[in-house]
Structure 1
């Protein structure tokens, strides 16, 4: 007895569904590519502009690279000690970021997992400080630093990073949703101290939130212009944004040299963002797999 096999034809609605999925995926890809191009246009324009003369920058829209990059760079380093400013900004930004993420994680964890009297009111006060513009207190801050003898030093730019209202808020919200109380109780049952529990059990679980806060903090400190301009008087101590703003002659600004300085200043931000964003993605993916 012979068995005959017949190919079952696909239904029209199945073909329509497959075509619809392909078109929807193609639309999403095109949308993502368009968004990436739009985001990359300012960076492309910045790099291209850094390779042209001042007259070309002032007169026309530049789309192709020029041949003035080295000349602009030489004028930049002759005008300001740009690499000294790079080192100064790196020192301030790295130390400030470390202080901010650590103490914000510690305070956010405390507000999240420790219930004590007036905790809600204290947290409300912390949030209330976010509504006050920092520029309003700049005169009082300057006089306070003057009374401490800290003007023209890095202490006023680094030590305030210990308190960060946004960081405390972000870490508290992350601890509320991602740190189970059972882990803390298990550590206490094993006889571990509170700081040991925080450093060995809680802090690794908060890494995605810490990476997010580190990105915002580093970028904010790296681009800080007002505070170094007011606190620092010595040109050798100045940060990169202040030095780049000072690249100008008596009557005109040197746009070519300024754009080279901007290119130099943007590279560390891109590196930090790429490293921390990968940390966020890997931590979230690991948590999803474990969950």
Structure 2
């Protein structure tokens, strides 16, 4: 038989398990309902965001008359006709190649040299370091279009107009990428790792390539996505710098399509836009996880 004290004062563990169990079930049910509502809203939001891209892809396969009648989810049979109509006026694949060359070059060079600069700002001490970093932050706030005329005159003086050089080399100096990578590496790379590598006899270049670069890869991948998309969608700079039609980038060619007879064929216009947008969609589809990983990792400082 139980003693009177055990009956009147049951064990704390038993009390919590019996009295709080219904409350825990209610809390779990509420959390499940809220989570389900959030998932439903996010699914609806994703569908709404995807509808314009779906309309673009479907209309690329339809004729001009069919597009004017209204929207449908059923693809048409005028894809080849729209393609030939578009190719009669512009060589869109040549523009695709030019955009790809410029975007890949800018992405690779920006990722490497920005990581090198960020590493120097984070772990080296030199005269004028703070001034240069503040100057870099100020440059982040200045729109690039303000120096367009001066940049054109400089390129003309150097004799590099109508080439890809003005579109690749200046874009490598990206203050925002340097700032982001610096903040990231300060939260993920401990100085003791660098000191240990120096004690082992590694050179500064080897430390950067074997220690810093692997740790910075998630952030570099994230910035590479934005850099690639920004370079791919760049319209004003190639329009000012390039003169030869065979060197035009894809956005410039799409701008010329609007002023040609192709604009009367909406299917050809949608097809050209789809060709220019699909690489960006693919990049986000396969590399978007790096954005979440690097931002979440950079938000926590130990």
Class of the TM-score when normalised by the shorter of the 2 chains: 0.7 to 0.9
CA deviation after TM superposition for structure 1 residue 272, in Å: 2.1
Q: Which residue number corresponds to residue 267 of structure 2?
A: 256
TM-score, normalised on structure 2?
A: 0.85
CA deviation after TM superposition for structure 1 residue 176, in Å: 1.4
Contact 2:263–2:269, Cα closer than 8 Å, also in 1: no
Contact 1:174–1:206, Cα closer than 8 Å, also in 2: yes
Pair 20,191 (structure 1): closer, same or farther in 2 beyond 3 Å: same
Q: What is the distance in 1 between the residues matched to 2:262 and 2:209? A: 55
- Over residues 135-176 of structure 1, what are the superposed CA-to-partner deviations in whole Å (9 max), with x where a residue is unaligned? 111111111111111111111111112211111111111111
Q: What is the distance in 2 between the residues matched to 1:132 and 1:170? A: 17
Contact 1:45–1:63, Cα closer than 8 Å, also in 2: yes
Which consecutive residues of structure 1, in runs of 5 or more, have no partner in the other structure?
1-7
CA deviation after TM superposition for structure 1 residue 52, in Å: 2.8
Q: Where do residues 96-175 of structure 1 align in structure 2 (5 Å cutoff)? A: 96-175=106-185
Pair 59,142 (structure 1): closer, same or farther in 2 beyond 3 Å: farther
CA deviation after TM superposition for structure 1 residue 285, in Å: 9.8
Pair 284,132 (structure 1): closer, same or farther in 2 beyond 3 Å: closer
Q: What is the distance in 2 between the residues matched to 1:88 and 1:213? A: 21
Q: What is the distance in 2 between the residues matched to 1:276 and 1:85? A: 24
Which consecutive residues of structure 2, in runs of 5 or more, have no partner in the other structure?
1-17
Pair 258,251 (structure 1): closer, same or farther in 2 beyond 3 Å: closer
Q: Which residue number corresponds to residue 200 of structure 1?
A: 210
Q: What is the distance in 2 between the residues matched to 1:132 and 1:11? A: 59
Contact 1:97–1:161, Cα closer than 8 Å, also in 2: no
Residues 113-122 or 271-280, more deviating: 271-280
Contact 1:126–1:165, Cα closer than 8 Å, also in 2: yes
Q: What is the distance in 2 between the residues matched to 1:284 and 1:145? A: 37
Q: Where do residues 211-226 of structure 1 align in structure 2 (5 Å cutoff)? A: 211-226=221-236
Contact 1:245–1:258, Cα closer than 8 Å, also in 2: no
Q: What is the distance in 2 between the residues matched to 1:56 and 1:148? A: 51
- Over residues 228-272 of structure 1, what are the superposed CA-to-partner deviations in whole Å (9 max), with x where a residue is unaligned? 111111111110111112124369554321210111111211222
Q: What is the distance in 2 between the residues matched to 1:279 and 1:139? A: 37
Q: Secondary structure in 2 aligned to 1:206?
A: helix
Q: Which residue number corresponds to residue 47 of structure 1?
A: 57
Contact 2:98–2:248, Cα closer than 8 Å, also in 1: yes
| Alignment root-mean-square deviation, CA | 2.6
CA deviation after TM superposition for structure 1 residue 80, in Å: 0.4
